[in-house]
Structure formats: structure tokens, C-alpha cells
Amino acid sequence: MKVRRLTTVGAALAVTVLIGGTAASAVPNGAQFRPPADSLRALAQPTGLRIGTAVIPFDLDTDGYVQLVGDQFSVVTPGNEMKWQVVEPTQGSYDWTAADRLVSFAQAHGQLVRGHTLTWHNQLPNWLTAGVADGSISNDQLKSLLHKHIVDEMTHFKGKIWQWDVANEFFTDSNPSQINPNDFWVSHLGAGILGDVFRWAHAADPKALLFYNDYNIAGEDGTNAKSDAVYAWVKSQLAAGVPINGIGDQGHLDTQYGYPYSLQSNLQRFANLHLKVAITEADVRTFVTDAASQVPTDHLAEFAQPYEFEQMLKACLAVQACISFTFWGFGDADSWVPGFFKGEGYATIYDVNLNPKPVIQVLQQELRLAARAAPVR
């Protein structure tokens, strides 16, 4: 995990905020914070949509970044600071420092928090994976440790987290898609563990909104296979009484593939199951000259990127159950994309020098129009 870089694979201000039927924590001092009138968060306020970003410690240590985090966004997601590897690096010894700092920042700036993520195959503590590998942690013990982790983390943040990504990236990219039998958790504990983690999470904090979060589940893969599989699974889980409140579509797009026009209809069909939906990790990458400057190799990408961001935002705005739209970081210098997709970058809404890109004006205009036409969530 890089120190600065994000790792992945987002209503009116008041002392107590009620959104999506779930009470968020009191925000001391937050009621006094007033974002700029032309900020994304202020422009989205008439529709009730929360505009968010992923945040890493560097963002709160750097003046230009911290100003943008507070001014532009009304919900924040920790990029890494609530993942198991970070909060319990040594078994039985918790470190909430970085996560607590972000929660305090959010409270001071009238923001809500998306907790990310409780159950994932990646960024697990070394003591856990090593113990499973050498047999010193049995499957029964592994299940107990996962239960304890979820209860401990949710109890620590109880009342302070609006949405939790309870389970993250459990489905295959194949066609047809399915729950991945080789996933770390599924291979040791079986597919039923997905239902268990939602039950445990609900018991730990009944007021938090509990999300399943994944990529390519709104048709981004062009086949809808993964979306179909997640839809069938969540429908069956709801019928069995599993307390799932929402579906998070990560929204990682690439200009070379074009915009997935099935995104809105997929969000809507999840919403038709009486679920909340959210865009949780939005970015739009393209080919760039180099990872340092991240200048697009094709000037047309400078038009395609704003267009795809705009269409993704419009899809969310059109679905009343879409309660938040979160960018996976906001500056290219700290984007995860160049380190994961060779030759690609330019994925966020500010460039490597933190200058706003053309996409900012496009999103501002879309939110102004939505204030008069989009359904209020």
C-alpha cells in the first residue's frame, strides 16, 4: 500500500442530519460550516444528493487539498484508513488514529462518512493471512475473528458512519458471473459468509446503511453479466431477511470503452428492490503521456472524460434512490490509476497540480439543472 496514493479495488446542514431514513451523527461545529455557493456539494444540496470523495491522510496534511475536501464535498470515504490491515496491524491492538481524524474533520465540516470496507479479500493484516496459510488459524477461528473485527470496528464508530461498505468485490468478472469460489473468505467460510457479515453489521449498528460494493455491476463490462449476478444474489438475500440496505457501484470508467448507457437502468432495478444505491468510487481514466504529468495522449479524451463523468452523474440524479456520488479521490497526483493501469491516468477532476479540469464546470452545470428537475432524495 502506497503512503500517499489511494488504494482500491462517495440536505441541509443541521446539527443532526437525516438522510435516506437513517440518522447520521451529530456534527458539532458542522452547522457553522458554509461551503462556497458554487461548490459541488452546495449545488447538489437542493436534490438531497451527497457529493463525496475518498480521502487519505496526505489530503488533510496539505493546505490546498484540505480546502477542497471541506469546500467541495459533503461526504467523505477513507481511502485506506478503515481497512483491517490499517486498524489492526497487530492482533488485538487497534489503531484508530487516522480514521478518527477523518471522522472529526467530517463532523467539523458538516460532512457524512462512508465506512470502507469491512469484508474484502485485500488489505488484510499480515498476522491474519499468515495464520490462515500456516494453519495456526482454523476456519472456525477465522470466522470468529471476522465477526470480532466487524463488531469492534462498527462499535468504535457507532453513530458516526452514514453508510458502510460491509462486503466488497465478491463476484467474478466472468460471463456468467458468480460469487468467486476462490475469494479468500468464500474459500474458507463458504458463500453464506456474505449474509453473516450483514447480520453482524446490523446488530452492531442498526442505524447505519449497509452496502454491498463492487465494480462493473451497472453494466460497465458491456455484458451486464456481473450486474445480473449481483441482482439475483441480493434479491435472494433480501427474501431471506438479510439486512442489506444498499448497492454501491464503484463507477470506474475508461474512455477507450465508451460510456455504459445501461448504468441508469441498472441502478434503477436495484432501487426497485427498495434498496438505496450509490456511485462509490467514480473516476474516468484515459491513456496519458506519463504517470507524472498525466497529459492525455489524445486531445479528444479531454472532451470524453467530462462527458462520461456527466453521464454518470445524470444517471445517479435520475434515480431517486441514488443518495450519494463519490469520486475516488479528486487530484491526479494521488490517483490509484497510474499505479494499477499501465499507461493510463487523468482519472480525477483536478490535475496533478490541483488545477480544476473542464469536468468541474460540466458537473456544476449539471447540478444547477438538476436543482430544477431531478427528484429530491
Q: Which amino acid is at 305?
A: Q
Examine the residue annotation and report whether 169 is marked as an active-site residue of this protein.
yes
Q: For the chain, state the CA radius of gyration.
A: 19
- Residue 276, sorted as left (phi over 0), alpha (psi -120 to 50) or beta, turns out to be beta
Question: Which residue from 344, 345, 348, 343 is spatially nearest to 331, judged by alpha carbons?
Answer: 348
Do 183 and 173 touch, CB atoms closer than 8 A? no
Q: How crowded is residue 41: how many other Cβ atoms within 10 Å of its Cβ?
A: 24
Question: Which residue from 107, 115, 105 is spatially nearest to 79, judged by alpha carbons?
Answer: 115
User: Looking at residue 355, what DSSP letter applies?
Assistant: P
User: Looking at residue 26, what DSSP letter applies?
Assistant: P
Alpha helix ranges (H) inside 174-300: 184-189, 193-204, 225-239, 263-271
From 81, 88, 153, 281, the catalytic residue = 281
User: Looking at residue 25, what DSSP letter applies?
Assistant: P
Do 203 and 243 touch, CB atoms closer than 8 A? no
Give phi and psi for 17, each to the nearest 5.
-110, 135
DSSP E strand stretches across 201-343: 209-214, 246-249, 252-254, 276-287, 322-327
Beta bridge partners of 179: 171
Element at 130 (helix H, strand E): helix 126-134
Q: How many helices (H) and strands (E) does the chain have?
A: 14, 12
Alpha-carbon distance 347 to 273, whole Å? 32
From 81, 88, 153, 169, the catalytic residue = 169
Half-sphere CA count of 1, side-chain side, radius 13 A = 18
Examine the residue annotation and report whether 281 is marked as an active-site residue of this protein.
yes
Residues 6 or more apart whose Cβ sits within 8 Å of residue 32: none
Residues annotated as part of the active site: 169, 281
